[in-house]
Amino acid sequence: MHKIFLTLSFFALFLPACAQDQQGFAPSNGVNIHYKIFGKGEPIVIINGGPGGNSEGFAYIASLLAEKYQAIIFDQRGTGKSVLPKLDSTTITMNLMREDLEALRKHLKLEKWVLMGQSFGGMLASYYASKYPDRVKGLIYSASGGLDLALRASIQNRIEELLTPTERKDLAYWNNKMAQGDTTRQTIKGRANVLASAYVVDKKHQKTIAERLLQVNLEINAIVWGDLTRIGYDCKPALKDFRAPALILQGRQDIITVDIAETAHRVLRNSRLVLLDKCSHYGWLDAKEKYISEIHKFMKKL
């Protein structure tokens, strides 16, 4: 079986940026965290997937939420406009990324906020909540990577399950080329085009997702996954007494298996798990009406 690298597992969908109410920078441990704010109302900070991707791909979902809430997106350290002088294991860690979030909250003068984590963003949201539970009014997990590193045991097989036999052969071809040292744009693009098929049920979005996959900073991605391994990422013990409400949105056809969401549901005592039919990694694309409706219902109860 050919290896599916986690470097291309969790990214946002890139769509044209929408008008935002304001943007700025929040200073935090050697980096200025760039952020944009859409709309007014209850604050929701949207933590994008990756790691290694900027937040521009989340302008679309932020604009949808901005119809009722204050939606905040930000570039994680080293990505987008949150520029770092160097990228290594001393400048990019989960601890630093967690403190970046807290610095952003303080900069925006918010007493509490709702954290919405997409994919890897759900892992960072959990890590933040494990240290700053009193600052979290609610958690929204969107195709979250989970509370620990269990997904690593299933992600490879799961992606292959979601591909057609022809796509699996194509993926094996591109994986072999990369394993032999071919990292040309053509090879990386070919692989991304195949992988993108597993990320959505509605294939009209496949090309756009493939383009987004190509924009990730693979160096940052590797650094963060290395740090997750180093710290033995596991938020279950810290969150077993977490009391704020949590909404877990998971597609039945997601690249992340349902058991990851079920584990989070068991650990988080005040959580609700919603499984979305005919939906993969992007609920706001494959199941937009249900996805947004569940968020609205959740927010009304806070």
The DSSP annotation for 67-114 comes to TTSEEEEEPPTTSTT---S--STTT--HHHHHHHHHHHHHHTT-S-EE
Please say whether the beta carbons of 258 and 275 come within 8 A.
yes
Quote the pTM value.
Answer: 0.93
Pairing of strands 271-276, 246-251: parallel
pLDDT, one tens digit per residue, over 237-272 is: 999 999 999 999 999 999 999 999 999 999 999 999
The DSSP symbol for 123 reads H
Q: In the chain, what are the domains?
A: 6-151+218-300 (3.40.50.1820)
- pLDDT attached to residue 20: 61
pLDDT at position 17, please?
45
In sign, the C-alpha dihedral spanning 140, 205, 252, 51 is negative
Contacts with 63 (C-beta within 8 Å, 6 or more apart), sequence order: 18, 19, 38, 39, 71
Q: What is the pLDDT of residue 88?
A: 97
Report the Cα 263 to chain-centroid distance in Å.
18
Per-residue model confidence as pLDDT tens for the chain (302 residues): 334 445 434 444 444 445 567 999 999 999 999 999 999 999 999 999 989 999 988 999 999 999 999 999 999 999 999 999 999 999 999 999 999 999 999 999 999 999 999 999 999 999 999 999 999 999 999 999 999 999 999 998 999 999 999 999 999 999 999 889 998 889 989 999 999 999 999 999 898 888 888 888 889 999 999 999 999 999 999 999 999 999 999 999 999 999 999 999 999 999 999 999 999 999 999 999 999 999 999 999 99
